[in-house]
Amino acid sequence: MKKTLMDKPIGVMDSGVGGMTVVKEIVRQLPHEKILYFGDISRCPYGEKSQEEVRDYTVQIADYLVGKGIKMLVIACNTATAAALEILKERLDIPVLGVIQPGARSAIQNSRNKKVLVLATSGTVKSNAYSDAIIGINSGFSVSSLACPKFVPLVEQLRYKDDVVSGIIIHQSLKKHRHTDADTIILGCTHYPLLKADIRNYFNNEKKVIDSGYETARETSTILNYNNLLRTSGESIVHTILINGDSSRFEYVLRDWLPELEYKIQEIEL
C-alpha cells in the first residue's frame, strides 16, 4: 500500500509556464518523483484577475488533479497561493504546499538589513501575502511590494530572451525602485525567475534575488518524507504535462529551459 502511495505523482499547478521553474528544482532535488503538471494557459495570467476568480480556478484545478491520483499538491503560482492555499489545505486530504511561505523564509534568511522588496503580480501585491508572511515570522522586517504586470506576458509570449525588449520592460517596471535600500528582492511570481539574471543585473548585482523554487522543492521533500510518501528509487521517469489551452508555446519554453526533461504533453479543456 505504501509503495502504491509513493509511486503516485506530485501535482503541480500554475496559470501558465512559470510553474516549470518550480518543477525544474523539484526534479533536480527529487529525481525519482513523478510530476503531473497543470498549466492553465487559456486563463493566464491570473495576476490581473479578481481573487475570487483565481480561487475558483485553483480549487477547480486542484480537484481535477486529485481526481488524477496525485499524492501531494504544489501550488506553483503566487497569486493562486495567496487566494486559495488555506481553503485547499482544509478541503483536500493530501499535503498542499504553496510558494509564498518558502520564499518568505528564504528572504528572512538572506537579508542583512531586514528590508525586502517583493516583485509580484497585482493580485499577489493586493493580497499582502508576502508582507504578512515575512512580518508574521519576524516583525522587525520592512517589506515593500511592486506590481510588475508586464513580466508575465513577457515570459508567456516568449519575448523574455529578447534582451532589448526585456531590458525596456524591466526598466519601465523597476526604475522607481532602482535605488531601493532593500538588500533582498523576492521574485513573487514563478514566471519571474526566467528574468532573474536580467533583474539581478538591473540592480548591479548588489541585491540578493530570491525565487522560491529551491525552497519549495526542499519543503516538498520534507513533507513527503514526513508523510512516508517519498519515492527514493524506481524505473526511469516520464513526467506528464496537462495544458488547458494551446501547448505550442509551452513546448518551446520546455525545449529551451528544460531540455533534459522526459515528458509527455496533452492538451485538455477544463
d(CA 251, CA 260): 13
Is 32 labelled a binding residue? no
Is 19 labelled a binding residue? no
Is 111 labelled a binding residue? no
List 72, 133, 189, 194, catalytic entry? 189
Q: 236 phi and psi, to 5 degrees?
A: -60, 150
d(CA 106, CA 126): 21
In eight-state DSSP terms, residue 144 is: E
**Residue 221 amino acid letter:** S
Is 4 labelled a binding residue? no
Please answer whether residues 202 and 85 qualify as being in contact, where contact means their C-beta atoms are separated by less than 8 angstroms: no
List 77, 117, 147, 224, catalytic entry? 77
Active site residue 189: yes
**Residue 83 amino acid letter:** A
Q: Sign of the CA dihedral 50, 53, 59, 61? A: negative
Q: What is the dihedral of CA 26, 28, 32, 36, to 10 degrees?
A: 40
Is 15 labelled a binding residue? yes
Active site residue 148: no
Is 239 labelled a binding residue? no
d(CA 99, CA 247): 24
Binding residues: 14-15, 46-47, 78-79, 190-191
Residues classed as catalytic: 77, 189
Binding residues for substrate: 14-15, 46-47, 78-79, 190-191
